[in-house]
Chain A
Amino acid sequence: MNVDETLSAPLADLSPTTVVPPPWLKMLIQIARNCLVVTVILALLALVFGSILRPALEAVNVNEELTALLSWLLIAAIPPALYLTVGFTARTLRNAHPARALVVALLAATLVYGATLLWNAAFPAAQAAQGQPSLEMTFAQADSGVVIESIVAGSAAEQAGLRVGDVITAIRRESIDLAALQSRIEEEPLGTPFRLRVQRDGEEFQVTVNSIASATGAGNAALSRAAAGRAVALVVTAVGLLVPFNWLPYLLLGVTLLPLLLGYTWLIVATFSQETHGLLPVDSTGSLGGLTLSNWDFLTEVSRRGSVWTYTLNSFAIAVIMTAALLVLCSMAAYALSRMEFRGRRLFLSFTLILHGFPAVTLLIPIYLVLLNLGALPIIGEYIGFNTLGGIALVEIAFGMPFGVWLMKGFFDNISWDMERSALIDGANRWRTFWEIILPQIRPGLFALGIFSFVGGWNTYLIPATFSTGTRIANLPVYIQQLLGETNPINWNEIAAIGLFQMIPILILFVFAQEYLLNIYSGGSKGSS
């Protein structure tokens, strides 16, 4: 039903000749129609992916991952889409007619089932690829160890020299029985090398065999996956129908946010643990526990790379210089562009707009040359050249400027002309008007740009990493990356702590200025309309 129909509905009621269908019939028709549409779309999609896109992609030999990714997209998108379509129409039924709602739920489930079948038809290969890992051998338990019963001809195991009747006693030095071997094979990811200790005729030697996806196991796995998928879809449908509708958006939002929530949770947990397995803090033996504050020792310690406070200071300096300069620079330029008449105004404006989409980050090579030349200037060169804080800040300021100018221009555009005229008549010149009358009006804009610049300057990695060498002027993000790139074992937990430490000012800003951050993109837009 579309809006037009809705609009004309009352008129239809008045006209005596129209037969008004009973509401439940209307509803059913609606549901049926929606279901039909969804099914058709699904079938078409399956067709497109299965018989056109996939071969086409294989032919041009792109990433197989495109297909894999699209598959995942479909898998992830179809159940919610289905639920949405069916659930939305069924929702109105739920309160008044629970029985009908149940019918709709069953209908939805059937549809999901049908979708999965279509899916299987479309992506047989995609599932085979996800088969169980195997060593392409079959085993039997014997007293001395695990006996190889058969080997797939031409397999890696055969090529490695294994034969039927060999006895596997251990993986590396761990002795092993049949159950343990099989569970190890299944648990390790595909491609894991197994170094098997093998006995043959009383001789002992080692063979390394990589696990690969087995063709036989794949079928079962695919089936169980399909079943799991259907179960999930059913549960989703049922939950969607039974849980009050208002919860659905929260549920969807929560689910999509999950990766982020997990990531940030890890960051926090990790900083207070010796090690982490997933999200769980563990101690050095791998059992639960091991909470510690030692990761934060970096605050007081001076490591081989120097104290963290040096880097913090550098971060701070870059951010503050950048913020201050951008505020002054952008508001001045934006004021002129927004409110002054001069030759070349249009040119400047279009130039700013082009800069706005300019791929400046790809110009790091010539900018390096510019910095080298700036560094060669007498007196000031020492502060703004390559490998100086000033130089880094300058590049940052330049990169941040097009955005800042447009943002501020939007704010300036909004200010009443009468107020500025009034100031001029009262006796001010443009310069004073700008500082005394106009700037105080755009405090929200200054605040927004300030926060944004500070966050940008505080977080910047690419420019300091490119235009500085060594540790003298490295900032926190560069420092963190240096730690992550170390060759000796990475102490993830300490780095996590430094990462969290780096985030603290941002989080504080975030709590207090969330609204400004959220409105930053739209703030500048108000003026121009």
Chain B
Amino acid sequence: MHCAPTATGTFLGMGMAAVTTTQSKRTSSGRPNLTAYLFLMPAVVLVVLFFLIPTILVLYISMTNLTSANFTADIAQMEFIGFANFTTLFNDQFAQKILFNTLFYVLVTMAIFNVGASLFVSLLTTHINRRASFVFRALWLLPRITAGTVYIMMWRRMIADPPFGILNQALGAVGGTPITGSEYVWTFVVIVNGMIGMSFGMVIFTAAIESISKDIMNAALVDGSTMLQRIRYIILPLLRWPLLFVISYQTLSLLTSYEQILLLTNGGPGLYQTEVWALTAYHRALSNYFGNAQWGYGSAFAVVLVVIGVLLAALYMRVFRFRDLVAEPKIETL
């Protein structure tokens, strides 16, 4: 999926709770509780198998020269080369370009779609007929629930050369010159991803706007404020937490998602033209882009993302005051 295992509004609630919760902190002196551990066990097993072990493994593999040529699943037989991969990475002439691509992609998509368009659409849909607003929001949700391959197929047809491309047909009808996908490749990468990404913000912003008390809005109406004034002075200030949440969460999603780019351009058409960091980790390690899959080197790329991801997640926990949120259970173990 576009946003990895896609996100949750829990953060949103957290943001709001952080403002409202004044609960006294207390250091839980919980007991080891067998029942609770049983409830948690299946989840913990999966976390260990697919998050914890892989994280440790990726750290280790990034310090080996594992390739498909000398592949082994046995850790003991991998050749340890220390930080050599990271040195290579920092001196890699393409790494810089890829980094720049990633920043460009994350910032532009975020600004235009994940925040801009989603805010725009939620403001509009909350000010129109309710039924109609449902239809619009539902339509905006379509890209997210369409399989990536089908969605990308659609877009490839959209920007195909004449006479097949939908865009070019329309351009031809008004007498414009045809465009090619490779000319505007970044534009399409951003649009294609943004159209999926914006529904996340849209849903969260819509919920936040709709939860604004009717009394406040009515009071503002009685005061004779115009719609723009209401947006500017009432809605936007109240959207601070959701905004912060969407921005922080979507940064991470954009940073680590690459399925759409993989399917749309596979990093091309020029050399590394649309390659982003996460995609590089994939390419280096899992696709035979260069014939020989460089697992160790690819892992070094992944490690960089893992570090960024963990740091960002920790940062969110601070920003959203995680500790305030975790209400103590109101049933105790005897």
| Chain A positions near chain B (C-beta within 8 angstroms) | 1-3, 6-7, 9, 62-63, 65-66, 68-69, 72-73, 88, 130, 132-133, 186-190, 246, 249-250, 252-253, 256-257, 259-264, 266-267, 270, 275-280, 286, 328-330, 332-333, 335-346, 348-351, 353-370, 372-374, 394-395, 397-403, 405-407, 409-410, 413, 417, 420-421, 424, 429-431, 434, 452, 455-456, 458-462, 466, 476-478, 480-481, 484, 492, 495-496, 499-500, 502-503, 506, 510, 514-515, 517-529
Q: Does B214 belong to the interface (CB within 8 Å)?
A: no
In this complex, the member of B61, B156, B157, B333 whose beta carbon has the largest number of chain A beta carbons within 10 angstroms is B157
Q: Choose among A360, A369, A403 the residue that contacts B8 (Cβ–Cβ < 8 A).
A: A403
Q: Does B12 belong to the interface (CB within 8 Å)?
A: yes
Are A342's CB and B313's CB within 8 A?
A: no
Are B327's CB and A481's CB within 8 A?
A: no
Q: How far is the CA of A62 from the CA of B170 in the complex (A)?
A: 31
Beta-carbon nearest neighbor of B234 in chain A: A3
Q: Choose among A345, A359, A459, A522 the residue that contacts B12 (Cβ–Cβ < 8 A).
A: A522
Contacts A260-B195, A346-B326, A361-B257 given; indicate if A369 touches B309 (C-beta within 8 A). Answer: no
Q: How far is the CA of A21 from the CA of B325 in the complex (A)?
A: 52
Q: How far is the CA of A263 from the CA of B229 in the complex (A)?
A: 36
Contacts A340-B33, A402-B5 given; indicate if A356 touches B50 (C-beta within 8 A). Answer: no
From residue A116, how far is it (CB to closest CB) to chain B in Å?
A: 18
Q: Does B168 belong to the interface (CB within 8 Å)?
A: yes
Are B147's CB and A480's CB within 8 A?
A: yes
Are B149's CB and A344's CB within 8 A?
A: no
Q: How far is the CA of A2 from the CA of B300 in the complex (A)?
A: 54
Are B165's CB and A458's CB within 8 A?
A: no
Contacts A278-B168, A353-B322, A361-B278 given; indicate if A521 touches B9 (C-beta within 8 A). Answer: yes
Q: How many A-B residue pairs have CB under 8 A?
A: 437
From residue A303, how far is it (CB to closest CB) to chain B in Å?
A: 17
Question: B61: which A residues are within 8 A, CB to CB?
Answer: 365-366, 369
From residue B2, how far is it (CB to closest CB) to chain A in Å?
A: 10
Are A332's CB and B42's CB within 8 A?
A: yes
In this complex, the member of B36, B226, B312 whose beta carbon has the largest number of chain A beta carbons within 10 angstroms is B36
Nearest 9 CB-CB pairings of A with B = A278-B169, A525-B13, A366-B57, A342-B33, A398-B50, A522-B207, A359-B256, A336-B39, A357-B313
- A sample of 28 cross-chain residue pairs with beta-carbon separation below 8 angstroms, ordered by A number, consists of A1-B229, A6-B224, A62-B100, A65-B185, A65-B187, A88-B228, A249-B125, A253-B136, A266-B154, A278-B164, A332-B39, A336-B37, A341-B31, A342-B30, A358-B51, A359-B305, A362-B256, A365-B61, A370-B53, A399-B4, A410-B8, A459-B145, A480-B150, A499-B153, A503-B150, A522-B204, A524-B10, A528-B10
Are B14's CB and A528's CB within 8 A?
A: yes
Main secondary structure of the interface of B (DSSP, over half): helix
From residue A219, how far is it (CB to closest CB) to chain B in Å?
A: 15
Are B36's CB and A526's CB within 8 A?
A: no
Q: Which of B170-228 contact A (CB under 8 A)?
A: 170, 177-180, 183-187, 190-191, 195, 200, 203-204, 206-207, 220, 223-228
Q: How far is the CA of A356 from the CA of B313 in the complex (A)?
A: 8
From residue B301, how far is it (CB to closest CB) to chain A in Å?
A: 8
Are A63's CB and B186's CB within 8 A?
A: yes
Are A403's CB and B5's CB within 8 A?
A: yes
Contacts A362-B302, A365-B286, A519-B207 given; indicate if A252 touches B43 (C-beta within 8 A). Answer: no
Beta-carbon nearest neighbor of A453 in chain B: B5
Q: Does B28 belong to the interface (CB within 8 Å)?
A: yes
Q: Does B289 belong to the interface (CB within 8 Å)?
A: no
Q: How far is the CA of A367 from the CA of B128 in the complex (A)?
A: 47
Contacts A63-B186, A456-B1 given; indicate if A344 touches B30 (C-beta within 8 A). Answer: yes
Are A263's CB and B138's CB within 8 A?
A: no
Q: How far is the CA of A528 from the CA of B7 in the complex (A)?
A: 16
Q: How far is the CA of A397 from the CA of B136 in the complex (A)?
A: 31
In this complex, the member of B13, B223, B316 whose beta carbon has the largest number of chain A beta carbons within 10 angstroms is B13
Q: How far is the CA of A422 from the CA of B308 in the complex (A)?
A: 46
Q: Which of B310-334 contact A (CB under 8 A)?
A: 310, 312-314, 316-317, 322-323, 325-333
Q: How far is the CA of A190 from the CA of B183 in the complex (A)?
A: 10
Q: How far is the CA of A267 from the CA of B330 in the complex (A)?
A: 53
Q: Does B63 belong to the interface (CB within 8 Å)?
A: no
Beta-carbon nearest neighbor of A373 in chain B: B73
Are A518's CB and B33's CB within 8 A?
A: no
Q: Does B247 belong to the interface (CB within 8 Å)?
A: no
Q: Mark B142-158, 1 if CB is under 8 A from A, else 0.
A: 11011111100111111
Q: How far is the CA of A262 from the CA of B11 in the complex (A)?
A: 34
Q: Choose among A252, A263, A329, A522 the residue that contacts B9 (Cβ–Cβ < 8 A).
A: A522
Contacts A3-B225, A249-B128, A524-B8 given; indicate if A365 touches B147 (C-beta within 8 A). Answer: no
Are A343's CB and B32's CB within 8 A?
A: yes
Q: Choose among A263, A394, A398 the residue that contacts B47 (Cβ–Cβ < 8 A).
A: A398
Are A398's CB and B51's CB within 8 A?
A: yes
Known: A6-B223, A360-B54; 19 extra A-B contacts, CB below 8 A, are A66-B108, A340-B329, A345-B28, A358-B51, A359-B4, A361-B258, A365-B286, A366-B55, A398-B46, A400-B5, A401-B47, A407-B8, A421-B330, A459-B1, A459-B146, A499-B149, A519-B207, A522-B9, A528-B325
Are B13's CB and A2's CB within 8 A?
A: no
Q: How far is the CA of A397 from the CA of B333 in the complex (A)?
A: 30
Q: How far is the CA of A262 from the CA of B36 in the complex (A)?
A: 51
Are B7's CB and A521's CB within 8 A?
A: yes
Beta-carbon nearest neighbor of A358 in chain B: B309
From residue B302, how far is it (CB to closest CB) to chain A in Å?
A: 4
Are B54's CB and A366's CB within 8 A?
A: yes
Are B164's CB and A333's CB within 8 A?
A: no
Question: A73: which B residues are within 8 A, CB to CB?
Answer: 112
Are A360's CB and B10's CB within 8 A?
A: no
Question: A407: which B residues are within 8 A, CB to CB?
Answer: 8, 10
From residue B92, how far is it (CB to closest CB) to chain A in Å?
A: 17
Question: B117: which A residues are within 8 A, CB to CB?
Answer: 256
Question: B278: which A residues are within 8 A, CB to CB?
Answer: 359, 361-362
Q: Does B281 belong to the interface (CB within 8 Å)?
A: yes
Q: How far is the CA of A184 from the CA of B139 in the complex (A)?
A: 39
Q: How far is the CA of A251 from the CA of B258 in the complex (A)?
A: 33
From residue A83, how far is it (CB to closest CB) to chain B in Å?
A: 13
